[in-house]
Structure 1
Amino acid sequence: GDGPSNDDKEILLLERDIIGRLGPQNVRKPLFHAGLITARIEELNLTHERKERLIEAVLDGDWRELSDAAKAVAGARRYLAPLLSLKGTSAGYLENIRALATGASARFLSALNEFIEVARVLDDLDCSYEIDITAVRSFEYYTGICFQFLSVSGEKIGGGGRYDDLIPLMGGPELPSCGFALYIDQIAAILDGSEPPRNGVVVITADTGEAAARRCLGLAQSIRCRGGMAVVQTGATAAVPGRYRWTIQLSASESDTVVMTDCETNESISCSMAEALSRLVS
């Protein structure tokens, strides 16, 4: 992908939009970071045997031993225990943990800062979620942001995240990897049988910075909310897949002007973002 955090934000928003268009209401979206769990365990300075026992318990959904171990070092590492019980709905909750983590390891702070960065963008885009560290599973190969989508009854209907360690575990090369899955059996009953959108759009910028990512993700989200299909492409320019009808090129500055290209005719125009959206749905 173009960068771990940008990819993570895009797949989370993409799955959210797909599930949202299928129709289920009041879907819960637990959000967590697998890297915080592994870094947190390392902060406890446990023996190898106890660490393995603790990991097995967590993988089985039993968090009591990890909670007890964090409480035992609460004096020196007072940021560990609150993290396990954290149930927040904005980046501010994670920033409170960071304020306590002045003596944390570089690995712990790196994972926490990555979590905060993703949460801030989701906040800016009004994408609701629930921070819940205890929702994580299979963190032996998940390495970063993870998320789930749960129905009103608590049944899992989708989920995914970053799993950079999965391909090496299967004997492959080390490659940045992220993705998500939809649970077809669980969501089949809510499909309305309508035709999928046909006018796909690639939102492009050469800028790989966070501000550019926010603008691209925001524009792609607006397109999807209007019934369109959109993907984001940042950094080095690549060939546009044939199934996409349009490209929208954002400038490197904060300008509202974009270049909209019809991939069938190769005709391009400069216009505002609002005008581009209007042309797509007209």
Structure 2
Amino acid sequence: MQDRFMQIERCKGCNDLTAEDMLRFRSVEAAFQETSKSYGYAEVRTPTLEYLYLFTSAGTLTPGMLRRVYSFLDWDGWSGERVVLKPDATIPVARLYAERLAHKDYPARLSYVTNSFIFEETGTRARERWQCGAELIGAGSSLADAELVGFACDSVKKMGLNNIEVKLSHAGLLRGILSSLGLSHSEQDILFDRILDGETDLLDRMQAEKPQAVEALKLLLGTKGSSSGFLKNLRALFAADIPGVQIALEDLIATIDLLQALELKYQIDFTSGKGFEYYTGFIFRLFAEGVNVGGGGRYDRLVGMMGGQDAPAGGFALYIDRLAALINIDSLYIPVSQRVSLNIESSAMKEGVELADLLRQTGWIVMFALQGKKAHDCGWEVEVRSAEPRFSVLNCGSGEKSVCEDAMELLAVVGLG
């Protein structure tokens, strides 16, 4: 026999955030926003709904990604446009810049905390994802790239996390080699991701026709280094007739020299460039405690794809769910010794509320005992009466009881006097 009541469950691939989860979430968010202010970035927010053509007309997402967006018709008479739950955070910010900020004569430093949505058929992975992000639009230089990496690293350090490492790549360098194979922009994306997924035989099939380009790509994917000198040595190995390779190398070397000056730990790893659909230059992946917690790069053509004028730009995202899982939750709680359960007689309500306000102003947590039941996880129980003595205080840890005639005496008993 079936149960009389159907069990209501949350949507697959979506998560409830418990009180503990939200402590972690807000801790990540607060550290990011504090760092954002120190770098001069202003917070913005874009809508959850965007027109589908924002992501399709400019080819800013791969066909595989677009097949996994949540889309539906936004009816307006008979000419409804198809809208989506935004699957990406950077593209809407680029639209915002092109629409409302491009006329400014100085770079836009923008930050945000937002969610995005991607369909995942099994429901075992997240369909809603939260991230902190920043975009620097209107300035293109190695110093701008280094600023973004420093901002991202300082945000993660502010969260109390250690063992931070940056892995570096360069989309311009990868595209320069892949384009010499005669591949279109979308074909380059597909080939590169398939190679990184282990299908290395694809390169072997192309070797006979384009040996120089294939050897150059194999060299990049098979080597790693931790200094700009490593890249300087690579310059002589690349043929001058592969378009853009030398320029891209010089650009990456200049950025790395600045990162060394910032004393950031990094590794040159071109396999870290997977998923570089709209990136045009420098790419980085950020790791903390061995976990990939963010990444970003340069996307100088994205604003032009939004219908505005081309503008140099770069940005990054930090993945809140991954960072939150690394946060030490113990440091986020107010100690039990600063939590009070307050039981107020109906005739002493004014005095009780005034005491609660006084304690809360010191940063303590005060919870009213409701229906005679004391609040949980409190280090102190206080009864407020209209008759003398006005206050009865119990130290829940030691069991010691005290009576007080006024609020100031009570503050002294709990250690605030």
TM-score, structure 2 as length reference = 0.41
Query: More relative contact order in 1 or in 2 (CA 8 Å, sep 6+)?
Result: 1
Alpha-carbon distance in structure 1 between the residues aligned to 2:187 and 2:213: 23
Instruction: Return closer, same or farther for 1:66/1:121 CA change in 2, 3 Å cut-off.
Output: farther
- Residue 161, structure 1, aligned to residue 161, structure 2: no
Partner of 2:225: 88
Per-residue Cα deviation, 1:178-225 (whole angstroms, up to 9, x for no partner): 11111122222427559xxxxxxxxxxxxxxxxxxxxxxxxxxxxxxx
SS of structure 2 residue aligned to 1:148: strand
Matched, 1:59 2:193: yes
- Of 151, 157, 161, 2:288 maps to 151
Q: SS at the partner of 1:68? A: helix
Please tell me whether the aligned partners of residues 149 and 159 of structure 1 are also in contact (alpha carbons under 8 angstroms): yes
Q: Distance in 1 between matches of 2:212 and 2:218?
A: 10
Residue 229 of structure 1 aligns with which residue? Answer: none
Paired residues of 2:142 and 2:258 also in contact (CA < 8 A)? no
2:237 aligned residue = 100
Q: How does 1:1-282 map to 2 (within 5 A)?
A: 1=107, 2-44=139-181, 46=182, 53=187, 55-60=189-194, 61-62=196-197, 64=200, 67-68=203-204, 71-72=207-208, 73-74=210-211, 79-154=216-291, 156-189=292-325, 190=327, 192=331
Distance 1:57 1:106, change over 3 A: closer
CA 1:99/1:70 → structure 2, altered by over 3 Å: closer, same or farther? farther
Write the letter of the residue equivalent to 1:113: E
AA matched with 2:310 = E
Tell me by how many angstroms 1:172 deviates.
3.8
**8 Å contact 1:83–1:133 — kept in the other structure?**
yes
Give how far 1:144 is off: 0.9
Change (3 A) 1:187 1:75: closer
The Cα shift of 1:161 comes to 1.1
**Greater alpha carbon shift after TM alignment, 119-128 vs 54-63:** 54-63
Deviations along 1:91-136, one digit per CA (max 9) or x if unpaired, are: 1111111021252434111111101111122223321111111111
> How far apart are the structure 1 equivalents of 2:309 and 2:202?
32
What are the ranges of 5 or more consecutive residues in structure 1 without an aligned counterpart?
195-282
Q: By how many angstroms is 1:145 displaced?
A: 0.7
Distance in 2 between the 1:76 and 1:14 partners?
A: 35
Q: Measured at CA, do residues 36 and 65 of structure 1 come closer, stay the same or move farther in structure 2, by a change above 3 Å? A: farther
After TM superposition, give the deviation of residue 37 of structure 1 in Å: 1.1
Offset from partner CA, 1:211-256 (integer Å, 9 cap, x none): xxxxxxxxxxxxxxxxxxxxxxxxxxxxxxxxxxxxxxxxxxxxxx
Q: Distance in 1 between matches of 2:186 and 2:314?
A: 26
Query: Is the CA contact 2:273–2:283 (under 8 Å) kept in the aligned structure 1?
Result: yes
- Pair 54,142 (structure 1): closer, same or farther in 2 beyond 3 Å: closer
- Deviation sequence 1:139-188 (CA, Å, 0-9, x none): 2310111111123353x211111112223334443221111111122222
Rate the CA distance shift 1:88–1:34 in 2: closer, same or farther, 3 A: same
Rounded to whole Å, the distance in 1 between the matches of 2:157 and 2:249 is 28
Q: When you count helix as a share of all residues, which structure comes out higher? A: 1
Shift of 1:36: 1.0
**CA–CA separation in structure 2 for the residues paired with 1:173 and 1:102:** 33
Aligned-partner residue type, residue 185 of structure 1:
D
| 51-60 vs 119-128, which moves further | 51-60
Partner of 2:341: none
Largest Rg, 1 or 2: 2
Aligned equivalents of 1:137 and 1:22: distance in 2? Answer: 27
